[in-house]
Amino acid sequence: MLLIRQFVMEWKLYSRDRVALFWTFAFPMLMLLGFGTIFRAGSTPSLTLVVAGDVPGAQELLAALDKTPVKPLPLAAAEAEARWRKGDTAAQLEAGPAGPRLKVNNYLMAQGQMTAQIVQQASLALQVRQDGHEARFLPVALESPGHGHSENYAAFLLPGLLGMNLLSMGLFSVGMVNVSYREKGKFRRLAVTPLPKWIFLAGQVLHRLTVVFLQAGCMLAVGYFAFGIANQGSFLLLALIMALGSACFMSMGFALSGFARTSEGYAAISNAFFFPMMFLSGVYFTLDSAPRWMQQAVVALPLSPFLKILRAVFNDGTGLAGHGLGLVIVLAWTGGCFLLALKKFSWA
């Protein structure tokens, strides 16, 4: 009875906290909608190629770009130079000593390189045709590792965001909140009442769990209705994995909160865990191009194996087979953090 009351109160107060509601519910959904739309497969964003002044011999090349995402933008030489200096130009075609040449802005590598490559291909195809042949491009299929999804980057991003949500819930909604309760004397106020402390914590944990599941439900709905992404595996398994992740990151929050006296101290400690996991665990992109030692180090942190398992179920509809080591790593972190939390968590 007391527990239910405590749980209901947590929800009531939480629902009044608009900032928390925004970051917990609206923000991940906006991320998914935003990135999912930008990187929608098949609709490669259009790329601009500035053509500076009169470039002799470029006429046919520009015509050959017609069916590519690259859109030529002819400008007078002075205008093109001004645009380049402002830093707005990613790639530019200009007259060189031996015919047209490309210039790529090294601050806008991603767009610039992509543009340059497409122009390069068009140029090669043109040369082949001038030699009397027709260039043939190899067909490309977009597909996930488990052959499940082929439509969209959003399908990769969605499980990543679900994992991120668990991480930030554990480290901030649990860890940070409890440090500030202790710092501000809220725990002391509770300690002079007969309320058993476990009821207070259980109410908090129950509340966070329901938030996590509601949040995941919203994300799945956005994924489904905006991008047609659906869970390929069993929902029960998905829920169990989410529950395991919640246990892991909540324990981590409780454990870390035992190491800091003040909110500032906690921010430093938790960020040391949060940022490496956020950037290096494959939430937004895979780390294929990172150095090997870094890839191996990151697997030891729980978020990376957790996301692999989550994606295997959600995107590829497979079971847990083949993810034994990953499961062991996540379980070990969960158990370790839980024990550490029992030892280090304090009320005063």
Partner 1 sequence: MTRTERAIGTSLALRVAGLRKQYPKVLAVDGLDLDVARGEVFGLLGPNGAGKTTTLEMIEGLTPPDGGVIEVLGLDWRHHGAEIRARIGVQLQSTSLFNKITPREALDLYGSYYPKCRGSRELLELVQLTDKADAFHVTLSGGQMQRLALALALVNDPELVFLDEPTTGLDPQARRSLWDVVRRIKAEGRTVILTTHYMDEAETLCDRLAIMDHGKVLTAGTPMGLIQELAIPSVVELAFAGAAPAPEAFAATLGQPVARRGDLWEIPTQDPKAMLPALLEAAEAAHIPYQQIHVRRATLEDVFLHLTGRSLRD
Site for partner 1, rule CB under 8 A: 2, 5, 9, 12-13, 16-17, 181, 184-186, 188-189, 191-195, 348
Contact (CB, 8 A) for 313 and 319? yes
Nearer to partner 1, 12 or 67 (CB): 12
Tell me the two tokens of residue 332: 């070990």
Q: In terms of Cα–Cα distance, which of 206, 182, 205, 187 is closest to 197?
A: 187
Nearer to partner 1, 3 or 41 (CB): 3
DSSP string for 320-335: STT-HHHHHHHHHHHH
Q: Could you tell me the smallest distance in angstroms from the CB atom of residue 309 to partner 1?
A: 36
Q: Which helix (H) or strand (E) holds 95?
A: strand 91-96
Q: Could you tell me the smallest distance in angstroms from the CB atom of residue 256 to partner 1?
A: 21
- Return the bridge partners of 96, or none: 99
73 backbone dihedrals φ, ψ, rounded to 5°: -125, 95
Q: Could you tell me the smallest distance in angstroms from the CB atom of residue 182 to partner 1?
A: 10
Nearer to partner 1, 15 or 43 (CB): 15
Nearer to partner 1, 147 or 188 (CB): 188
Owner of token pair 């029992």: 342
Nearer to partner 1, 129 or 189 (CB): 189
Residue 185 is classified by DSSP as T
Nearer to partner 1, 4 or 240 (CB): 4
Rounded Cα distance, 176 and 198, in Å: 18
109 backbone dihedrals φ, ψ, rounded to 5°: -50, -50
Q: Could you tell me the smallest distance in angstroms from the CB atom of residue 200 to partner 1?
A: 9
Q: Could you tell me the smallest distance in angstroms from the CB atom of residue 196 to partner 1?
A: 9
Contact (CB, 8 A) for 9 and 203? yes
- CA–centroid distance for 111 within its chain: 20
Q: Could you tell me the smallest distance in angstroms from the CB atom of residue 107 to partner 1?
A: 43
Owner of token pair 């002391």: 188
